[in-house]
């Protein structure tokens, strides 16, 4: 499940990057639906922090074609139906 969500998020990010990278001063927002609370909350929090750290490294290196990456993180509460609604 997590692998599928990560693959979909990556695909969405690449599509977003292609369109948004045209502007000189821009931000590219990548939506994340993670298990921040509930039984898997510990793992989701670690995953969300990892993405934020990676984005910070990318932004410090100049971003993606000059655009900063930012996250819009939503909590799935470790429940599939909430994750679908958040997406």
User: Does residue 16 register a pLDDT over 70?
Assistant: no
27 Cβ contact partners less than 8 Å away, ≥ 6 residues apart: 20, 67, 68, 69, 70
Q: Is the pLDDT reported for residue 56 higher than 90? A: yes
Cβ atoms 76, 34 nearer than 8 A: yes
Domain coverage including residue 18? 2-86
The pLDDT assigned to 44 comes to: 93
- Tell me how many domains the chain contains: 1
pLDDT band for 58, please (50, 70, 90 cuts). Answer: very high
């Amino acid at each position: 499940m997590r692998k599928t969500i990560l693959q979909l998020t990556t695909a969405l990010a690449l599509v977003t990057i292609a369109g948004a990278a045209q502007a000189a001063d821009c931000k590219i927002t990548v939506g994340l639906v993670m298990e921040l609370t509930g039984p898997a909350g510990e793992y989701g929090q670690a995953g969300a922090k990892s993405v934020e750290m990676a984005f910070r490294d990318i932004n410090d290196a100049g971003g993606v074609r000059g655009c900063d990456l930012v996250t819009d993180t939503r909590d799935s509460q470790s429940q599939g139906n909430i994750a679908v609604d958040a997406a």
